[in-house]
């Protein structure tokens, strides 16, 4: 049987896999590698350098500079798309006839390029991008970024029609799947959950000694959630509260210095973050954006103890059955006080296993991915 080859265009260098989008890309590459697929990875580098680790799981890895600045900002295309275009990339794609998978709308500059007519083109969705950027606009308080997010949201909404040129769409959540099916009824739109770091449940039985909120603490969405917790919820908690994540915002740093009840862990290593997740008693999961699948939630389901989350966090997924639900500060405080005295048990772990039942298995989902791309069946 001949080898199966697949081009993957990534919006960024997917290593280390330490935030949402690149987690899905990296662990998808790893699962495809284990399945014997020869992947040809193309990635844009701007905040991350080349990663030799990727060469161990890919047939080849190509890097391209991102064209940031005014030249890309002035385009009618979204900035996140226009700044990721390279003639070197399209020439590399034209060297063979392998299928091409575009990771996120960011990487879709060449999706409608006539030179790729006749090729199998797959769109991998991670968010409904114009909704995501509009929510960033609402969350942002600085005038400059706020205006950028609004303009980008409008451009992304208009640009979304480029997806007519995809032969297959693979979508991370059921709600996003329904949205894209309604927009592109003639297209093959399939729900394929995110790939992630876990294959076994590692939640520790017993109790922890603190509440944890973690994430990229420089992103507007997470800044808003973290400040909401610090201002509205933390003053009513008896259990200490830990914020951990990348590049914490100044407002959160100030809140932590003023409140002895709050501890801030900036830029933890992968091992330190894993330890923080495993040892926490309660995980607070709050978002004001019901878009995509929050991979930090999925990761915590596998690694952590109790989770208290709002509906926007689990966004119509089966994960909603595995969390304690709250929607406002009163409900969050009530749930925190109730859950604080509940040990995490073997029965809790078994219920997670039974509920997910392999739905988020990287092996099963890579097999489905291969079947869809190379055999055209769903």
Which is it for strands 262-266 and 324-325: parallel, antiparallel or unpaired? unpaired
Q: What is the dihedral of CA 10, 13, 14, 17, to 10 degrees?
A: -150
Assessment of whether the complete model's pTM goes beyond 0.85: yes
Ordered by start, the domain boundaries in the chain are 5-196+360-375, 211-356
- Which CATH architecture is the domain 5-196+360-375 placed in? 3-Layer(aba) Sandwich (3.40)
Tens of pLDDT, residue by residue over 135-156, are 899 988 889 999 999 999 999 9
pLDDT of the residue at 377:
41
**Domain 211-356 CATH assignment equals 3.40.50.2000:** yes
Strands 306-309 and 38-45: unpaired
Residue 376 C-alpha from the chain's centroid: 26
**Which DSSP state fits 230?**
I
Share of the chain above pLDDT 70, in %: 98
- Cβ neighbours of residue 65 under 8 Å, at least 6 residues apart? 44, 45, 46, 86
Task: Tell me if domain 5-196+360-375 and domain 211-356 are identical in fold.
Answer: yes
pLDDT (tens digit per residue) in 8-20:
999 999 998 877 7
Name every residue whose Cβ is closer than 8 Å to that of residue 94 and which is 6 or more positions away in sequence.
115, 116
Does the structure show a pLDDT above 90 at 111?
yes
Q: What's the whole-number mean pLDDT along residues 124-130?
A: 95
Is pLDDT of 83 > 50?
A: yes
């Amino acid at each position: 049987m001949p080898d199966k080859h697949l081009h993957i265009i990534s919006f960024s260098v997917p290593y280390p896999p330490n935030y949402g989008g690149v987690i899905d890309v990296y662990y998808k590459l790893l699962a495809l590698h284990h399945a014997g697929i020869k992947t040809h990875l193309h990635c844009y580098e701007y905040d991350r350098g080349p990663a030799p680790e990727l060469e161990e799981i890919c047939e080849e890895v190509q890097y391209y500079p991102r064209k940031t600045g005014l030249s890309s900002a002035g385009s009618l295309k979204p900035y996140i798309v226009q700044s990721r275009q390279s003639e070197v990339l399209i020439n590399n794609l034209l060297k063979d006839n392998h299928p091409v998978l575009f990771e996120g709308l960011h990487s879709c500059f060449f999706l409608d390029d006539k030179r790729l007519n006749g090729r199998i083109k797959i769109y991998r969705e991670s968010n409904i991008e114009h909704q995501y950027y509009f929510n960033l606009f609402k969350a942002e308080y600085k005038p400059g970024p706020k205006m950028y997010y609004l303009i980008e949201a409008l451009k992304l909404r208009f640009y979304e029609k480029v997806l007519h040129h995809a032969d297959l769409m693979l979508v991370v959540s059921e709600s996003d799947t329904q949205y894209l099916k309604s927009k592109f009824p003639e297209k093959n739109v399939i729900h394929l959950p995110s790939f992630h770091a876990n294959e076994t449940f590692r939640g520790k039985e017993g109790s922890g000694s603190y509440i944890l909120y973690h994430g990229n603490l420089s992103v507007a969405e997470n800044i808003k959630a973290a400040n909401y917790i610090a201002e509205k919820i933390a003053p009513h908690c008896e259990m200490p509260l830990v914020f951990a994540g990348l590049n914490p915002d100044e407002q959160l740093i100030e809140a932590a210095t003023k409140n002895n009840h709050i501890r801030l862990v900036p830029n933890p290593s992968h091992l330190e973050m894993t330890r923080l997740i495993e040892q926490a008693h309660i995980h607070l999961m709050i978002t004001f954006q019901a878009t995509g699948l929050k991979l930090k939630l999925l990761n915590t389901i596998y690694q952590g103890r109790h989770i208290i989350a709002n509906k926007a966090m689990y966004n119509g997924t089966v994960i909603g059955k595995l969390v304690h639900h709250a929607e406002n500060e009163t409900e969050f405080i009530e749930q925190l006080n109730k859950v604080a005295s509940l040990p995490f048990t073997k029965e809790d772990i078994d219920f997670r296993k039974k509920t997910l039942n392999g739905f988020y298995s990287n092996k099963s989902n890579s097999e489905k991915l291969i079947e869809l791309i190379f055999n055209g069946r769903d």
